[in-house]
């Protein structure tokens, strides 16, 4: 099988490494990739938001399967173009990708499917903002305001704050830019990400993971695209994971089938385990980053065959997934000033070590690897348990040098110390 992966992050680097372990995968390509992915796959520079360009490349490479990593091409319908060209595609249609592309659509699907999620309201008129803010947050008996961009914002359109002025400023800024705002009630409790491979009706869950969205240790500072992740979750009972599949993921997949837009690809459920049970924070239409880096480090089943089975509607017959024992911890090394405007062009030393996945990296003409994005590298450690996996990840990180680079020191720490309870 020849597989073309679309994207340029550490998530796609992790997908390539896991695909390479599948004995049936005999050719790998990526577009556009980064400075690390060229060592694993043939690398092409095409416009990944163009269906025609991706189809052209898939034909040139002779792809049997196209795996689309990021949400933007999916929301733009690149998956539909690939399928229309007769090539198997792992990634939902434009219609089904609205589960991530429009939070209002996701809320509507969840309501129809009877899935528990935060109370919410869309505000698209600045004149209605103050009254709407009064119906949420501390004034309404809740811990904080949750203010989200209704559309795609790479994880950075969300502000969670008990400060009304900050909540209002974020919402007003989005409205000024012409973006509708979603106000939500705050869901208290540990959060988790559960990825499921879906072929329309059949849902195959992967190991649950937890990511760290705030930039600083102890969950302080602004939201980012994700500063680290670990899997599996020692604090999540198997029955609760099974309940989430049965009560959240399967009903949403069935509702999308009922609406005539079946979901084929990776359905990402972000949940909070509140005192009254699991509730959905968000759905995404693709593998999460950086959770994927941890989850795939533990996958023992052949990834290419799994994604091909999903893309061709044959998941029901796929053997039960096998997982490696132990745990995986991913720590993101970010550029100076991220999640603000990151400083770029710094030379990175040690980026070619094992367990180092590239994201915002580029190769300079003189061969040096330099930073080219906010999240620069994902460093993945594995071990018999979370403590060992953390030690492995931070040990590897210690061999890397990026001027001004920063990372969180507490990825997976609370779980390793048994401090998370549901």
Q: Which is nearer to ligand GLY, 270 or 383 (CB)?
A: 270
When binding is defined by CB under 6 A, the residue of 101, 190, 288, 342 that contacts ligand GLY is: 288
Tell me how many residues contact ligand GLY (CB under 6 A): 7
Burial class (CB in 10 A: 0-12, 13-18, 19+), 255: buried
DSSP type of residue 94: T
* C-beta closer to ligand GLY: residue 184 or 291: 291
Instruction: Please say which residue, 81 or 227, places its beta carbon nearer to ligand GLY.
Output: 227
DSSP for 284-350 reads ESS--TTHHHHHHHTB-S-HHHHHHHHHTT-GGGSPPP-B-SSEEEEEEEE-TTTTSS-----B-BS
Q: What is the dihedral of CA 137, 141, 143, 145, to 10 degrees?
A: -10
Cα dihedral angle (268, 257, 280, 113), rounded to 10 degrees? -170
According to the binding rule CB under 6 A, does residue 226 interact with ligand GLY?
A: yes
- Angle 263-31-204 (CA atoms, 0-180°, nearest 5)? 30
Site for ligand GLY in 255-284 (CB under 6 A): 284
Residue span binding ligand GLY (CB under 6 A) among the ranges 75-83, 133-141, 287-295, 373-381: 287-295
Tell whether the torsion through CA atoms of 254, 234, 154 and 175 is positive or negative: positive
Contacts to ligand GLY from residues 352-411, by CB under 6 A = none
- Pair 338, 411: CB distance under 8 Å: no
Considering beta carbons, is residue 10 or 57 the nearer one to ligand GLY?
A: 10
In the complex, what is the shortest distance from the CB of residue 221 to ligand GLY, in angstroms, rounded to a whole number?
16
Residue number with CB closer to ligand GLY (57 or 97): 97
Site for ligand GLY in 127-166 (CB under 6 A): 155
Distance CA 328, CA 232 (A): 7
Strand 327-334 to 375-383 pairing: antiparallel
Nearer Cβ to ligand GLY, position 329 or 370?
329
342 binds ligand GLY (CB under 6 A): no
Determine, following the binding rule CB under 6 A, whether residue 117 of this chain makes contact with ligand GLY. Answer: no
**Binding to ligand GLY (CB under 6 A): which residues in 290-309?**
291
What residue ranges bind ligand GLY (CB under 6 A)? Answer: 155, 211, 226, 284, 288-289, 291
């Amino acid at each position: 099988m020849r597989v073309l992966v679309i994207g340029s992050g550490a998530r796609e680097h992790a997908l390539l490494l896991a695909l390479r372990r599948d004995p049936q995968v005999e050719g790998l390509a990526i577009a556009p990739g980064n400075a690390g992915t060229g060592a694993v796959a043939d690398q092409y520079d095409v416009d990944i938001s163009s269906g025609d360009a991706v189809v052209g490349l898939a034909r040139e490479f002779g792809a049997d399967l196209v795996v689309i990593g990021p949400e933007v091409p999916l929301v733009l319908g690149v998956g539909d173009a690939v399928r229309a060209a007769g090539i198997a595609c792992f990634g939902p249609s434009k219609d089904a990708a609205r589960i991530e592309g429009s939070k209002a659509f996701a809320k509507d699907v969840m309501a129809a499917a009877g899935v528990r999620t935060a109370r919410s309201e869309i505000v698209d008129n600045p004149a209605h903002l103050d009254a709407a803010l009064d119906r949420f947050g501390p004034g309404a008996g809740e811990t904080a305001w949750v203010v989200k961009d209704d559309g795609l914002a790479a994880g950075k359109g969300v502000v969670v704050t008990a400060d009304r002025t900050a909540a209002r400023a974020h919402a007003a800024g989005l409205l000024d830019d012409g973006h509708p705002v979603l106000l939500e009630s705050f869901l208290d409790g540990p959060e988790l990400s559960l990825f499921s491979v879906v072929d329309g009706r059949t849902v195959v869950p992967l190991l649950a993971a937890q990511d760290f969205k705030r930039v600083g240790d102890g969950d302080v500072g602004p939201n980012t695209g994700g500063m680290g992740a670990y899997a599996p979750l020692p604090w999540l009972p198997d029955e609760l994971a099974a309940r989430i599949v049965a009560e959240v993921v399967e009903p949403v997949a069935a509702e999308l089938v009922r609406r005539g837009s079946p979901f084929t690809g990776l359905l990402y459920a972000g949940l909070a385990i509140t005192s009254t049970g699991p509730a959905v924070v968000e759905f995404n239409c693709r593998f999460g980053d950086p959770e994927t880096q941890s989850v795939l480090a533990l996958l023992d089943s052949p990834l290419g065959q799994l994604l091909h089975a999903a893309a061709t509607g044959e998941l029901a017959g796929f053997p039960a997934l096998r997982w490696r024992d132990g745990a995986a911890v991913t720590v993101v090394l970010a550029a100076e000033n991220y999640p603000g405007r990151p400083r770029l062009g710094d030379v990175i030393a040690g980026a070619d070590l094992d367990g180092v996945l590239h994201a915002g990296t580029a190769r300079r003409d003189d061969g040096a690897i330099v930073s080219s994005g906010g999240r620069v590298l994902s460093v993945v450690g594995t071990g018999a348990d979370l403590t060992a996996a953390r030690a492995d990840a931070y040990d590897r990180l210690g061999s890397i040098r990026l001027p001004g680079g920063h990372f969180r020191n507490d990825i997976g720490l609370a779980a390793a110390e048994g401090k998370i309870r549901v």
